[in-house]
Structure 1
């Protein structure tokens, strides 16, 4: 971690994502707020030429960049940009191109290198196209897996964050047909541990409450609709409780959101991608943030994709990107506080597993009426 003086701003790196999507639009719209420069020093890893193209296309005249070659040259009262792509790069709004994929990768690689060296304090990744970025150096389903390998992290979790809920998933970008066979007690327990630690370290929640979903309808109805809930998920929850983690479930996903029981918990662990992300994006699409929990570094991203259909139309909302920036700053500060507390054993607060408060528990396999 970079050592700061009292007057240093937090340095936030931003990889520009797909140059033919809305990445630059949400970046520019976020950075046009002068208050951002009071909170952090932004450094865009991208292309001054591409940034100028989008500024002109969107008629954004109140944002300019300080062109730098390295983070050492960053100006702390202005937005900065480091060129990471070929000067001859061509922007084709709304199109998926090989050139755009290469530009996405080059910016991400350079930003990741600086993140690893401690030159930047956190990284915000603008949306990429997960197809056109594939190549010799990038063979991953997305940012999350790429960064996990870069930082030699085997245990990590995609955590979707908003003001109303935090949702993690056990399995991420795999086919639905492979979900059930990928679920193990160890895999579920690992995600519970990661989310619990992240809630403490990154969100300053002393005693987090985590709701764990079942896999099958009605969380299996005690084994009547599939065995995974009773034989795999429940044992993981029980083991987590023995470790002092306040994990409860498994709960049926549909009734859980319908009854707003999610408000009683600090985080939710879903078994697969759409089980958790559909309700999350329905409730928080414009303000949701994708956070990679478990990494030794801080990485956030807006909860949306490249949105090619909106590229160059001045219709994209910057709110999700703005929230990703705010969250990165908050997590950086929270980790500093957590590290200080960890250094002082007298300030630690240990949870007694025999005193876990389960007053928020709800019937996990309750049958819905009239269905």
Structure 2
């Protein structure tokens, strides 16, 4: 059957978003069916993936969601796909694999879109996947010679805090290029081929050390291993840097950072980068936790603010009143502390906190184009 006529970008984005609303209602079953189709048709690919697929299924759904959210703007979609392509080098992906994945994806989308699947919807998804595959493949092939598929890194420091939190410092075997605010995926020796994203908690340093803040969550295999099993001297694997929540060096506006829990990590990195050259601007960093004990890195933040008077740190606790810090819901405390409409805003933390904060700031008049956040803590 001939493919329908090409769609304009606006119509393609509309069809993708509307059909994805139907598909997303099926949750984890979509990713389960996709991988079942992929391995049924190409069983030789199974060894590229971990024995337990739960973490990877979530990553697939997150990637599709990001593509759907950015489909209307190639200015943000293409950089995301380029980063994704460079990162996927760690999986030993070959050119022909993109066709295999596209075949399984289209079968899966058609199954779960149901009556919403039309020739025009199919063409919209096929065109979008073709673009994604092309950009990712070009990014994979254009990596400078000598760039590793992943970075081996030795754990130099591991300190646990209340709330099942750990601060980990590692030394990559060679410098890992990144910008303050970005994240990398991490594999531990305890769960081979299982990678999860974690934000880098420091601005680039001359010694190339990297700091991570990790909270052990539920059945999170990687986070629990990083907090409870990893020790000094262990070796981790790190993927390429990703993420677009980085400091706008061209802006002359003041900066607002809102961090919930280990969402502090990328915002601490941004604050460190800011402190090197404030250029007459100010930065307010609100750091929220349930209680005083979970304000795990507060001492270092206060030292940073002492060294750079342009930075103001506001600790906030939400569960138990504190004698020293602000008390209340983090989004409420931020909104009540001033009008931030003229600021560049960076938000990171639990999804509900991020959503509530973005909503409160938008109500104040903050343009959503100047509110930056990534779905990684």
Q: Same fold (TM over 0.5)?
A: no
Q: TM-score, normalised by structure 1?
A: 0.34
Q: TM-score, normalised by structure 2?
A: 0.34
Higher relative contact order (CA 8 A, sep 6+): 1
